[in-house]
Structures are given as C-alpha cells and as structure tokens.
Amino acid sequence: MLTGSKVGLRARHEDDIPILRAELFNDVVNASRAEAGPWRPVGPGSKDPRLVVDDKEQGHVPFSVVELEGGTLVGSANLWGIDTHNRYAHIGLGLLPSSRGKGYGTDVVAVLCHYGFVVRGLHRLQIETLADNTAMLRSAERNGFVREGVLRSSAWVMGEFLDEVLLGLLAQDWKQDSQVTD
C-alpha cells in the first residue's frame, strides 16, 4: 500500500465495489460530473470496468482509497491513459460524500504523484476537471500542478456545456512530499 499523511492507496477489494457503486457511481449528478460520458445505471452483478480491476490492462491503474486511521474506505483513485512511450498519465479520483472536505483529495493527489513519478518513472501527470470543481483544483495546485488551459464548453453535464481546466505537472517541477511512503 502507498501511504500519505491521511490516506492509503491499496488494491481494490471485492467488498469495496458495492460501496463505491452505491456512493459514487449511483449518484447521478456527481457521477455525471466525473465521467467523460453520460451517467447510466449499472446493476449489482455488472463487471463495470470503472470498478472491476483488469490485471491485464496496462494503461489504467485503479486504487481504493482508505483512511490510514482505521482503514475505512473513503474513495477511489487511478492513473489512466498511461502512455509508456511519452511517459505521461492522467490522474482521477472520487471521494465518497462523507469523506469530502477533510483534506483527503490533496493527500490522494500527492500519493498518486509519488506513484506516477517515483514508482512508474513518468515524466508528466495531467488532470482535467470541471472549472467549478474548486476542491480538485485546490488539491492539484497544492501539489504543484499548473493550470495550462481551459477547454471552453467541452463537457456536456446534466443538460449544459461546462468548461474544463487542464492542469499539468512535470517530474522536474514536483516537490516530493516526505510523508508519502511505499
């Protein structure tokens, strides 16, 4: 498990899936804001690729996020779109509603940076988020990400087009958090 100051990123457990499905992916508004496509209901027995880990898939590394104190599941995080030739990837995360506003997002981003830059040897990490997602913007910027641009009206979310902000961080600009460990 990779650990930060507040959270750990570990392998997805089978018993994480019903919690993540119920609290993250069945929330129509938040799931619509987080996904690149439209929300759709997913049944309990579904092999939903957002939740089920495919060990053969090299371009996507999913984690379950747990509190260090007590081990409670607090969300999901991943590196996706991993490009081993150009050495970059995208960061994604989702926290359960009861776990938001506690500083976990900033810690998750720090641990994902450690994983991407130290463990995977990547050169660049990127985040795309809705322009009104202040929590994600703050988490990214606290970890050194720089706003590189705005994709105007690029996301169709619940009946309207919203802007997305593109943030990037290069390995050479990253300031490693001393509290992140393998």
pLDDT recorded at residue 178: 66
Place of tokens 């499905």: 21
Domain hosting residue 131, numbered range: 2-173
Structure tokens at 66: 């747990």
Say if 180 falls within a structural domain.
Answer: no
SS (H, E, C) the chain: CEECCCEEEECCCHHHHHHHHHHHHCCHHHHHHHCCCCCCCCCCCCCCCCCCCCCCCCCEEEEEEEECCCCCEEEEEEEEEEECCCCEEEEEEEECHHHCCCCHHHHHHHHHHHHHHHHCCCCEEEEEEECCCHHHHHHHHHCCCEEEEEEEEEEEECCEEEEEEEEEEEHHHCCCCCCCEC
* Residue 134 falls inside a structural domain: yes
Q: Tell me how many domains the chain contains.
A: 1
CATH of the domain at 84: 3.40.630.30
pTM for the whole thing? 0.91
Does 65 reside within a domain? yes
Let me know if residue 181 belongs to a domain: no
Q: Which residues of the chain are modeled with pLDDT < 70?
A: 49, 178
pLDDT digits (tens, 9 = 90+) for 43-63: 777 777 677 777 777 889 999
Judge whether 179 lies within some domain.
Answer: no
> Which pLDDT does position 49 carry in this prediction?
67
* Residue 182 falls inside a structural domain: no
51 lies in some domain: yes
Per-residue pLDDT, 79: 97
